[in-house]
Structure 1
Amino acid sequence: MIQLDSINNNFLNDVLKLIHDSKLKVVQTVNTTMVYTYFEVGRLIVEEEQKGNERAKYGKKIISELSKHLTLEFGKGYSTTNLKQMRSFYLTYSKGQTVSDEFKLSWSHYLMLMRLDNPKERQFYEIESFNNNWSLRELRRQFDSALYERLVLSREKEEVKRLSEEGQIIEKAQDTLKDPYVLEFLGLPEESKYSETELEQKLIEKLEHFLLELGKGYAFIGRQVRFTFDDKHFRVDLVFYNRLLQSFVLIDLKIGEITHQDLGQMQMYVNYYDRYVKLEHENKTIGIILCKKKNDTLVEITLPENNEQIFASKYQTVLPSKEELKRLINDK
């Protein structure tokens, strides 16, 4: 009889990985088949309704009768509500889009995406959900935090079209930035009093959520990371590394309004990392100051005109008003 501890670990891991991957592919195939089937059911319903004015007039009756037959044949899953959703799914996606042509998301994802009236916004979230493997919960969080609107506000008009067609492309430091950053997952009321240390601790406790808010490519390095020169010690609140940009990202937390001293301090941090920490093949260090209040004029005057390393962004601890953000977009 073979003893379990006699099996080569690498061999065992290879077999386990193969089986796990195959099960995942089966689930993905089932999901894709189901979504495609619902799309086709929606198509048949629409075509049946559009065969003539009389049938279109009695569209609700067609769905009701179809629901009865399908429920008798297949059981649950074909209520009138579900069939109406399949009809809406076809009407929404029959015009053809990038990712949706292949239906790579779950039916639950599409049920949410169908509720978005703006085709560009819907396509952006569809692309990002697939590219980042967002769960339905993560998709809802990104939508509720108005990710699309916040990214649109931080981009020039010519870049907005690319955002809806390709998703968020990270090529330079500015591509990762948001203003504001939304930290509603911390559970801190907007007007509550807390220290920078408490804010930092909350972010560490909710690190997974914070990484999702930071965006693509971020890996956590450490908190209160110390460096020393001339017998003086300095600490960076939070240090990350972005694999896509191949650069360190230093984050300093400020619970009040940003000052020129804050910007100068971050410039010193960035200079130190560029000269003594980063490797030769890595790109220049990025510094982000997260502050409660930001003076755009102060930031613009303090930083050099060709600045590509130091950035200041506001943070807020409640979900933003999507209506207000949309008004700001229209005013751009």
Structure 2
Amino acid sequence: MSEKLQNNVLFQQVVELLQTARQQVLRTVNSTMVYTYFEIGRMIVEEEQDGKDRAEYGSQLLKGLSQRLNQEFGKGFSIVNLENMRKFYLTYSISQSVTGVSKIKIPKTLSVELKDNEKIETFKLTWTHYIFLMRIDDENERSFYEIETAKNNWSVRELKRQYDSALYTRLTLSRDKEGILKLSEEGQIIEKPKDIIKDPYILEFLGLPELHQYSESDLEAEIINKLEHFLLELGHGFTFVARQQRIIFDDKHFRIDLVFYNRVLKSFVLIDLKIGELKHQDLGQMQMYVNYYDRNKRIEGENKTIGIVLCQNKSDLVVEYTLPENNEQIFASKYKTVLPSKEDLIKLISESK
């Protein structure tokens, strides 16, 4: 090995070591800060509950504490921030059981380790993540987003986007009570093809106005331009394979709009884009694509190919009577190119049930 090459290898090794150390320091600093805020919240709550029955006591306590902490440590301890710390403790630590007995509730993103017989508690998310999560009133829904954020390393911006697009609600549509409970306890678990399907898909990141006249090729081009965002919307385990995949038989040429592979299911996932109302011929065409991939592309150890037709509108009866009763390969879902209002989203989801 030449001296120059040896120096380059050494340089890369040192860079990797420093980057790893920097990330560990940032994680440690974040965890320490979040845990400190958690403890401050606990102290505030315990002080409020220590025999003080005056309604104004809590607000006066926070006001006085805020003034003294800001004098001692500078900015960062406003009344609003102290209220968030108090809420953080109440949200993530104490809940009343049905019997009225308090019980401890540990955040899904708090890992507890033992080192040298000493308990080390580590929060995996940032304080900004938790501030947003605390706004979600439904405990099961909050737990789901908490788990998924940690699992997928979502930024706060991506967490907000997933929440605004009602990811949790969309995933609960095809699940029974037990399945919905598993979402809140484990996040999204992919075990069968139906687990990856959403209806509708929210594609507001494409920047295409809802009523704008665009073609299927325009829609496809924007998806490719925003492929990273589209992969996030698709969900766990997706990798991009091909665009306009050409297949030929009997001198006939066909093109599949988008081809992906899901590493969790070990299956190819074919996606066709349709403008307007879904027709039964669209599902028949997708069935042909799926059959072709199963017979010519799938190798030993891989599962059957999945086909998804994304359309602007569909009749559930057309889908039901076009596909076989035991269908587990072909799916049709609506897509929206703008983020619906809360009211429109509730209506859209209820129509898909």
Shorter-chain TM-score tier: over 0.9
Aligned with 2:108 (options 90, 99, 102): 99
- Residue of structure 1 in register with 2:337 after alignment: 317
Q: Secondary structure at the match of 2:310?
A: strand
Aligned-residue offset at 1:55: 5.7
- Residue of structure 2 in register with 1:132 after alignment: 152
Q: Secondary structure at the match of 1:185?
A: helix
Q: Secondary structure at the match of 2:198?
A: coil
How many residues are treated as equivalent by the alignment? 329
**2:183 is the counterpart of 1:163:** yes
Aligned with 1:213 (options 211, 218, 233): 233
Q: Secondary structure at the match of 1:71?
A: helix
Aligned with 2:284 (options 260, 264, 269): 264
**2:223 is the counterpart of 1:224:** no
CA–CA separation in structure 1 for the residues paired with 2:175 and 2:278: 23
The Cα offsets for residues 36-76 of structure 1, whole Å up to 9 and x where unpaired, read as 00000011011111112346531111111111111111111
Instruction: Kindly provide the amino acid, as one letter, of the partner of residue 256 in structure 2.
Output: V
1:4–1:66 Cα change, 3 Å: farther
**Where does 1:74-89 land on structure 2 (aligned, <5 Å)?**
74-89=73-88
TM-score of the two chains, using structure 1 as the length reference? 0.94
Aligned-residue offset at 1:286: 0.4
**Where does 1:30-49 land on structure 2 (aligned, <5 Å)?**
30-49=29-48
- Residue of structure 2 in register with 1:58 after alignment: 57
Q: Secondary structure at the match of 1:143?
A: helix
Q: Which has the higher strand share?
A: 2
Aligned-residue offset at 1:191: 1.4
1:268–1:112 Cα change, 3 Å: same
Q: Secondary structure at the match of 2:220?
A: helix
Instruction: Kindly provide the amino acid, as one letter, of the partner of residue 245 in structure 2.
Output: V
Q: Secondary structure at the match of 2:137?
A: coil
Instruction: Kindly provide the amino acid, as one letter, of the partner of residue 173 in structure 2.
Output: L
Aligned-residue offset at 1:176: 0.6
Instruction: Kindly provide the amino acid, as one letter, of the partner of residue 108 in structure 2.
Output: V
CA–CA separation in structure 2 for the residues paired with 1:49 and 1:158: 38
Is the Cα contact below 8 Å between 1:129 and 1:139 reproduced in 2?
A: yes
Aligned-residue offset at 1:18: 2.7
Is the Cα contact below 8 Å between 2:62 and 2:83 reproduced in 1?
A: yes
Q: Secondary structure at the match of 2:188?
A: coil
Aligned-residue offset at 1:158: 2.3
RMSD: 1.9
CA–CA separation in structure 1 for the residues paired with 2:158 and 2:4: 39
Is the Cα contact below 8 Å between 1:35 and 1:106 reproduced in 2?
A: yes
Q: Secondary structure at the match of 1:189?
A: coil
Is the Cα contact below 8 Å between 2:109 and 2:150 reproduced in 1?
A: no
1:308–1:239 Cα change, 3 Å: same
Unaligned runs of 5+ in 2: 95-104, 112-122
- Residue of structure 2 in register with 1:7 after alignment: 7
- Residue of structure 1 in register with 2:206 after alignment: 186
Aligned-residue offset at 1:154: 2.5
Q: Secondary structure at the match of 2:50?
A: coil
CA–CA separation in structure 2 for the residues paired with 1:112 and 1:4: 50
CA–CA separation in structure 2 for the residues paired with 1:151 and 1:57: 43
Q: Which has the higher helix share?
A: 1
1:203–1:245 Cα change, 3 Å: same
Is the Cα contact below 8 Å between 1:149 and 1:325 reproduced in 2?
A: no
TM-score of the two chains, using structure 2 as the length reference? 0.88
CA–CA separation in structure 2 for the residues paired with 1:59 and 1:218: 49
Q: Secondary structure at the match of 1:219?
A: strand
Unaligned runs of 5+ in 1: none
Aligned with 1:238 (options 258, 269, 276): 258
1:292–1:172 Cα change, 3 Å: same
Question: Identity over the aligned pairs, expressed in percent?
Answer: 63
Aligned with 1:275 (options 274, 289, 295): 295
Aligned with 1:303 (options 323, 327, 331): 323
**2:143 is the counterpart of 1:123:** yes
Instruction: Kindly provide the amino acid, as one letter, of the partner of residue 215 in structure 2.
Output: S
